[in-house]
Amino acid sequence: MQGATSAASVPARARLEVVDPRPAEDRILVVVPAHNESGALPALLRELRERYPQCDVVVIDDGSTDGTRDSAAGLARVISLPCNLGIGGAVQTGLRIAFDENYDYAVQVDGDGQHPPAELEKLLRMARKSASDLVVGSRFRIDGGFKSTAVRRAGIRFFAWFLSCICKFPITDPTSGFRVMNRRAIRVLAGRYAEDFPEVEAIVQAYRAGLRIAEVPVRMAERVAGESSIGPVKSLLYMLKVPLAILMSLLRRPEEP
C-alpha cells in the first residue's frame, strides 16, 4: 500500500485512531446496493476507503439510469445489473460474490448515505466479539440520529413487534439494511433472498436457520441526495405483502447454514 507506515514507528495513541476491527486474516466485503445514487455514492465510497482500507467494496448498480456506475468508477468495484431487480436482488448479488470469493464477512451499507461509515465499526466489533452470525444496526437503541418519517416509524414498530413474537427475543429495527453477516449467514442468505422489502424476511430466514442475531445501537443519517424508491404506494404494499411473505416463509423448510 502506498504511503504505508510500519506499526512499530507509529505511537500507540495514533494507532488507536486507525479503524481495524478485525484480525489480519479476516476478509471483509462491503456490499453497497445502489439505484440512481450518483449524488450520494462518491462521498460514501471515499469515506469507506479512508476509514476501512482493509475492506473490499463492491457497488451493485441496480439498473441505474443516472450515471451511478460512472460516479463509483475508480472508488470501488462495480457490478452493473442489466435491469432494476430491487434491493433484494442487488443485495443477493453482493452476497453471492462474498460467498463465491470466500469472504469471512459481508457488510451491507446502503448507497444513499443513511448509513454513516463511522458507525460500521460497531457492527464489525459485535460480529467478532459476540460470535453473532447476523448483526443489525438499530437506530432505535440510541438517542439522536435520523429515525425516519412518522409513518415509517409506525410500520417499523409493527414489524418489530411481529418479528419479536416470532423470534422470541426483542427486535427493534427490523427494516434496517445496515448489517454485517459472517460466513454462516452469507451461506444462508446468498442462496435465497426476498426480492422486495427483504430486510424483515431475512431476519426470519436467519432465525429459522438457527443463526445467531444481534442488534447494535447506531446513529443513522438522512438521505444525502436523490429520492427514496419507497413512496406511499410502496409503503402500503409493504404493510400488506411482508406479513404474508413471512407467514409463507414459516411454511418452508429452513435453510441450513
Please answer whether residues 81 and 36 qualify as being in contact, where contact means their C-beta atoms are separated by less than 8 angstroms.
no
| pTM metric for this prediction | 0.82
Q: Which three cell numbers stand for residue 90?
A: 442487488
CATH superfamily ID and name for 25-249: Spore Coat Polysaccharide Biosynthesis Protein SpsA; Chain A (3.90.550.10)
Give the residue among 211, 194, 210 at the shortest CA–CA distance from 246. Answer: 194
Q: Could you read off the pLDDT tens digit of each residue along the chain, which spans 257 residues? A: 444 433 344 433 333 334 444 445 799 999 999 999 999 999 999 999 999 999 999 999 999 999 999 999 999 999 999 999 999 999 999 999 999 999 999 999 999 999 999 999 999 999 999 989 999 999 999 887 777 767 778 888 999 999 999 999 999 999 999 999 999 999 999 998 887 778 999 999 999 999 999 999 999 988 666 555 555 566 667 667 777 777 777 777 777 77
β-strands 213-217, 77-81 pairing: unpaired
Separation between Cα atoms, residue 206 and residue 215, nearest integer Å: 14
Give CA–CA dist 210/63, Å, rounded.
Answer: 34
Alpha-carbon 197 to chain mean position: 13
Sequence-distant (≥ 6) Cβ neighbours of residue 13 within 8 angstroms: none
Strands 56-62, 28-34: parallel, antiparallel or unpaired by DSSP? parallel
Where in the chain are the domains? 25-249
Place of cell 450515471: 67
